[in-house]
Copies of this chain bind each other. A is one copy, B any other.
Amino acid sequence: MSGDACLIFSASSHPISSFAQSEMAKSWNVQLKCYDAWCGVAHGCSRKLGMKICGFLQKNNNLEEKIRSSKDLLDNSDRDSRFRRTETDFSNLFARDLLPAKNGEEPTMQFLLEVVDILTNYVRKTFDRSTKVLDFHHPHQLLEGMEGFNLELSDQPESLEQILVDCRDTLKYGVRTGHPRFFNQLSTGLDIIGLSGEWLTSTANTNMFTYEIAPVFVLMEQLTLKKMREIIGWPDGEGDGIFSPGGAISNMYSVMIARYKFFPEVKTKGMTAAPRLVLFTSEHQNRSPKQNATISIHSNNTRLHIHSHGVCLQGCVPMFVNATAGSTVYGAFDPIHELADICEKYNMWLHVDGAWGGGLLMSRKHRHKLCGVERANSVTWNPHKMMGVPLQCSAILVRERGVLSGCNSMCAGYLFQPDKQYDVSYDTGDKAIQCGRHVDIFKFWLMWKAKGTIGFEQHIDKCLDLSHYLYTKIKGREGYQMVFDGEPQHTNVCFWYLPPGIRDMPDGQEKREKLHKVAPKIKALMMESGTTMVGYQPQGDKVNFFRMVISNPAATRSDIDFLTDEIERLGQDL
């Protein structure tokens, strides 16, 4: 550390530069020189030179002498060049000059700090409502190459200067998912603690495989999963679980575990060891349970409309019921107690897909929507959705201990050695279908530490309050029509906006066809103007409608107002 005690740099792009170029600076020579000396260190002058200046600063009492001397030290380099970090410092540097290269420490630090400068500026702008959500370009435009931004890969290396330009451009042409007016997905927002957690996770760059290589993360995962099981309501938080790369894979785990539980021979003998199995899920499910039926069983066996069809036993064995807790489009919650009764009666596995709605368990006000979740055999819960944790962070939680590893263990000697010196029951690899497993826990654990359970509760309550505000605002308002009756259960508010030109048309095919085109058109205009983003889709026999979802902690009532104003402005003349 001591050697770096002189390292000072600028967080914004060229503050010193603009300062130096000001008229005032010219007449303020003494002060400017002094900054020069310090900035020289930060702006890529050699580490050795920086040290010399610092040492000098610390040894000399005379201000004038100090300034003259640092001026002398720096005279050989061009002054302007010292101010344009990227252009002068990185144009002759390459990846091969960074650590572990000899003398790579200084360029490495400079490069990382330059990247951080780009990122912190991006973070700042993300929360600034005067910044656009996106700067839209068509695929062919980006593929043809924007000025200085070429996506093609080549045999020869690019300079670090170009790499920094690429970083800036990548962000410039991307979408600010943390912007207060980004409502397009279930996962929105940019949580600063979560972000810090991800930065640390990348720096640690390890694997959740074994305690041996991820001791702290493995324990954090264990404790956090236990806490989640307590919140679900399983006695003493008993059970098992694991973080997986997303809700679809968590749901896949649930199907595999259920199949193993009822027909353990499937593990060794395959599907011939089981009869034809039936899975039930809601018509308004997320696509993943259906997809998992394709992977593990098959999709015709996923019976839709469980309530209207009842339990069907035509030569098949009903095995699994998926209760959706927060459907993707409507945010609807299946009645878990009723499904649990059916599962008990017919000895079926009850899975609760709370990928989207699981977060509501953190709120004393809203958790009743998952009433009965404690009766589930397994639960999918994605903190990366409603809880604002950076993607990816999804948990599969299992009530019964042992079935998760029973189902997935392959006892590969090269992965898990029982003769290690520590308690190998902490190794997680035999529970996972993955060998390499990304550390998804740390950002979540850190956010929980930093916010406390009450912080998550406040976030959930605030988002649901906002959606209530939107619902109340547009319900009955001229030009709006709600897609489903009644108050939304989650933050999903689904509505049609009818431009003045079609409001008074008689109901019928023509009106439907016109209305079907409204949301795509408004969305396209929104994206071109870059002001906000919200999703739309058709559903069943319903033509395209907007689905507003609020999980973004940066959103306020003014942003909701902005969205409706924008829809009305852009849709006015359609």
Known: A160-B450, A193-B95, A246-B437. A24 touches B184 (CB 8 A): no
Option from B196, B394, B544 in Cβ contact (under 8 Å) with A115: B196
- A431-446 interface code vs B (CB 8 A; 1 in, 0 out): 0011111100010011
State A122–B203 Cα separation when bound (angstroms): 8
Known: A200-B170, A299-B270. A433 touches B291 (CB 8 A): yes
A105-164: which have CB < 8 Å to B?
105, 108-109, 111-113, 115-116, 118-124, 127, 136-140, 142-143, 151-158, 160, 162-163
Option from B119, B202, B298, B517 in Cβ contact (under 8 Å) with A268: B298
A156 touches B58 (CB 8 A): no
The smallest C-beta distance from A202 to any residue of chain B, in angstroms, reads: 4
The smallest C-beta distance from A277 to any residue of chain B, in angstroms, reads: 9
The smallest C-beta distance from A513 to any residue of chain B, in angstroms, reads: 12
A202 touches B390 (CB 8 A): yes
- A520-549 interface code vs B (CB 8 A; 1 in, 0 out): 100110011000010111110000100100
State A410–B214 Cα separation when bound (angstroms): 37
Q: Is A426 an interface residue (CB 8 A)?
A: yes
State A111–B1 Cα separation when bound (angstroms): 19
Known: A18-B5, A202-B198. A297 touches B276 (CB 8 A): no
Known: A116-B113, A392-B436. A184 touches B160 (CB 8 A): no
Q: Is A384 an interface residue (CB 8 A)?
A: yes
Question: From A453, which residue of chain B is reached at the shortest CB distance?
Answer: B155
State A3–B115 Cα separation when bound (angstroms): 19
State A214–B174 Cα separation when bound (angstroms): 6
Chain B residues near A437 (CB, 8 Å)? Answer: 246
Q: Is A301 an interface residue (CB 8 A)?
A: yes
Chain B residues near A73 (CB, 8 Å)? Answer: none
Option from B66, B224, B271, B410 in Cβ contact (under 8 Å) with A290: B410
Chain B residues near A301 (CB, 8 Å)? Answer: 270
The smallest C-beta distance from A164 to any residue of chain B, in angstroms, reads: 9
Option from B59, B60, B423, B547 in Cβ contact (under 8 Å) with A140: B423
Chain B residues near A27 (CB, 8 Å)? Answer: 61
State A449–B159 Cα separation when bound (angstroms): 9
Q: Is A91 an interface residue (CB 8 A)?
A: no
State A95–B293 Cα separation when bound (angstroms): 41
Known: A58-B22, A95-B455, A520-B419. A185 touches B199 (CB 8 A): no
A300 touches B537 (CB 8 A): no
B1 touches A174 (CB 8 A): no
State A173–B108 Cα separation when bound (angstroms): 24
Stretch at the interface among A28-36, A396-404, A470-478, A501-509: A28-36
Chain B residues near A206 (CB, 8 Å)? Answer: 174-175, 177, 391
Q: Is A283 an interface residue (CB 8 A)?
A: no
B8 touches A7 (CB 8 A): no
Option from B4, B271, B408, B517 in Cβ contact (under 8 Å) with A124: B4
Q: Is A569 an interface residue (CB 8 A)?
A: no
Q: Is A167 an interface residue (CB 8 A)?
A: yes
Known: A5-B18, A174-B216. A163 touches B449 (CB 8 A): yes
Chain B residues near A433 (CB, 8 Å)? Answer: 248-249, 252, 291, 295
Option from B256, B270, B421, B422 in Cβ contact (under 8 Å) with A300: B270
A1-42: which have CB < 8 Å to B?
1, 4-16, 18-19, 22, 24, 27-28, 30-31, 34, 42
Q: Is A166 an interface residue (CB 8 A)?
A: yes
- A165-190 interface code vs B (CB 8 A; 1 in, 0 out): 01101110111011010001101001
B192 touches A95 (CB 8 A): yes
Question: From A228, which residue of chain B is reached at the shortest CB distance?
Answer: B153
A196 touches B112 (CB 8 A): yes
Chain B residues near A227 (CB, 8 Å)? Answer: 153
Known: A193-B95, A295-B256, A296-B295. A417 touches B207 (CB 8 A): no
Question: From A105, which residue of chain B is reached at the shortest CB distance?
Answer: B124
Q: Is A314 an interface residue (CB 8 A)?
A: no
Q: Is A92 an interface residue (CB 8 A)?
A: no
Which of A116, A119, A160 has most chain B Cβ within 10 Å?
A116
B8 touches A11 (CB 8 A): yes
Q: Is A484 an interface residue (CB 8 A)?
A: no
Chain B residues near A454 (CB, 8 Å)? Answer: 155-157
- A259-301 interface code vs B (CB 8 A; 1 in, 0 out): 0000000111111110010000000001110110111111111
Option from B175, B435, B523 in Cβ contact (under 8 Å) with A246: B435
State A113–B335 Cα separation when bound (angstroms): 47
Stretch at the interface among A96-104, A336-344, A366-374, A560-568: A96-104
Minimum-distance CB pairs A-B, first 6: A270-B298, A198-B202, A421-B524, A245-B245, A100-B554, A95-B450
* 30 A–B pairs (Cβ distance < 8 Å), ordered by A: A4-B15, A22-B58, A34-B34, A95-B451, A99-B124, A112-B120, A116-B116, A118-B200, A123-B203, A139-B215, A139-B423, A153-B445, A154-B453, A157-B451, A158-B449, A160-B450, A173-B215, A175-B214, A177-B205, A184-B213, A185-B207, A212-B533, A248-B433, A252-B433, A267-B299, A270-B297, A287-B435, A415-B537, A420-B520, A421-B524
